[in-house]
Amino acid sequence: MPAPPKMAPINLVRKRVSMMSGMTSEDVRKPAELGVVNDPRWTRVLARDRTADGLFWYSVATTGIYCRPSCASRAANPINVQLHDTLADAKATGFRPCKRCHPDGPSIDAEKAAIVARACRLIEGRDEEPSLNALAKAVGRSASYFHRSFKAVTGLTPKDYAAAHRARKVREGLISGSSVPEAIYDAGYNSSGRFYEKSTDMLGMTPTQFKKGGTNEEIRFALGQTSLGAILVASSKKGVASILLGNDPDALLRQLQDRFPKARLVGADEDYEALVARVVGLVELPQIGLDLPLDVRGTAFQCRVWQALREVPVGQTVSYMEIALRIGSPKAVRAVAGACAANNLAVAIPCHRVVRNDGALSGYAWGIERKKALLDREAAVTVQMSK
């Protein structure tokens, strides 16, 4: 019997499939190739899954090239495809690296992350905020590609990032004892007018109040008990600023002190107890909602995530990916998870309704058991409401 051709034409292989029942020795090797169709890695190639880059490579016998899984070229016929665990294996085929996906270089995501990291260092190292064009030029990419990549990786525009960085420098300057004008100047604001315009957004108060250690800020708080354990509720003049859940009331109080180290924490009076009762009510019966002003303090990105969470109805869950899509930053899934973890308003900002893509509960700052209990409770409510 003649040796089988190295690259089996498609019709020949098809014929072999139909002949499977009467397998010959040369057919024994063929199912390995056909197996690519059933290999879960092949699905990732078809999906051009960039998270698969670096995990494996594939080569195409008919074109004589090898690619990374995310390659944008037209999908090859799986019959002609071989999967490789390492780049060395792919190279060992003797095929050429694809000119489109550059399988020998760093992955697209890794490259983007490197570009963005360089840009962040540039922003942080300059007194004057670099222009978008200057940043793009410095990292060797077009302005639009750079802007898109930056937003995808950090969840922020370069401009927002620069503003957040300078606000942080002002805060650090004020805390370390600089005068207000010094701190503003050192952070790269050439006119204090520009800074004052935005100071309340950035510091939550005027710079002078901030320098005094937030002594003008009074935080009222009270501890309570729910069916899920201890609860601490705290409010500023603007609204409810913290809702913390836990087993140990003292630990909750310490968390509050850490968050507002310079504020005057005032134990609650009867008025405030009434407000706490409403928050406890929300934990017990999520469907009643919480019609109280919130004092949400976070970065622009965190605030966008938290707003999206507040729009998730009782009894529903969403994935981190879905939230990332809803706030228009589809690539910032990890940053979304970070913002969920940084939530200070348990239940009122329902980060417990965010689960992993596969529906698994994932983490919860106040304990996975509480997350499960809250979701079970809400699921029961929705069943009742639909009856």
The residues of the shown chain that bind Zn ion, judged by CB under 5 A, are: 67, 71, 98, 100-101
* Catalytic residue check, 351: yes
CB of 103 to Zn ion, least distance (A): 6
As to burial, measured by CB atoms within 10 angstroms (0-12 exposed, 13-18 middle, 19+ buried), residue 287 is middle
Which of 71, 98, 101, 351 is labelled catalytic?
351
State phi, psi for 171 to the nearest 5 degrees: -60, -45
As to burial, measured by CB atoms within 10 angstroms (0-12 exposed, 13-18 middle, 19+ buried), residue 374 is buried
For Zn ion, give the closer residue by CB, 98 or 234.
98
Cβ–Cβ under 8 Å, residues 206 and 199: yes
**Tokens 């050439």 correspond to what residue?**
190
CB of 94 to Zn ion, least distance (A): 17
CB of 349 to Zn ion, least distance (A): 43
DSSP 52-86: GBTTBEEEETTTTEEE-TT--SPPPPGGGEEEESS
For Zn ion, give the closer residue by CB, 58 or 189.
58
* Catalytic residue check, 101: no
For Zn ion, give the closer residue by CB, 75 or 341.
75
Q: Is 330 helix (H, G, I), strand (E, B) or coil?
A: coil
For Zn ion, give the closer residue by CB, 105 or 181.
105
Q: Is 193 helix (H, G, I), strand (E, B) or coil?
A: helix
Q: In angstroms, rounded to a whole number, what is the distance separating the alpha carbons of residues 204 and 216?
A: 12
Residues 6+ away with beta carbon under 8 Å from 279: 224, 231, 233, 240, 243, 290, 292, 347, 348
CB of 48 to Zn ion, least distance (A): 10
Q: In angstroms, rounded to a whole number, what is the distance separating the alpha carbons of residues 119 and 149?
A: 11
Measured on CA atoms in the order 180, 185, 186, 188, is the torsion positive or negative?
Answer: positive
For Zn ion, give the closer residue by CB, 74 or 387.
74
Residue type, 21: S
Cβ–Cβ under 8 Å, residues 136 and 142: yes
Which of 67, 98, 120, 340 is labelled catalytic?
67
Count Cα atoms within 13 angstroms, Cβ side, for 24.
Answer: 9
The residue whose Cβ lies closest to Zn ion is 98
CB of 25 to Zn ion, least distance (A): 34
For Zn ion, give the closer residue by CB, 101 or 123.
101
CB of 97 to Zn ion, least distance (A): 8
Q: In angstroms, rounded to a whole number, what is the distance separating the alpha carbons of residues 241 and 220?
A: 10
For Zn ion, give the closer residue by CB, 101 or 120.
101
CB of 100 to Zn ion, least distance (A): 5
Active site residues: 67, 351
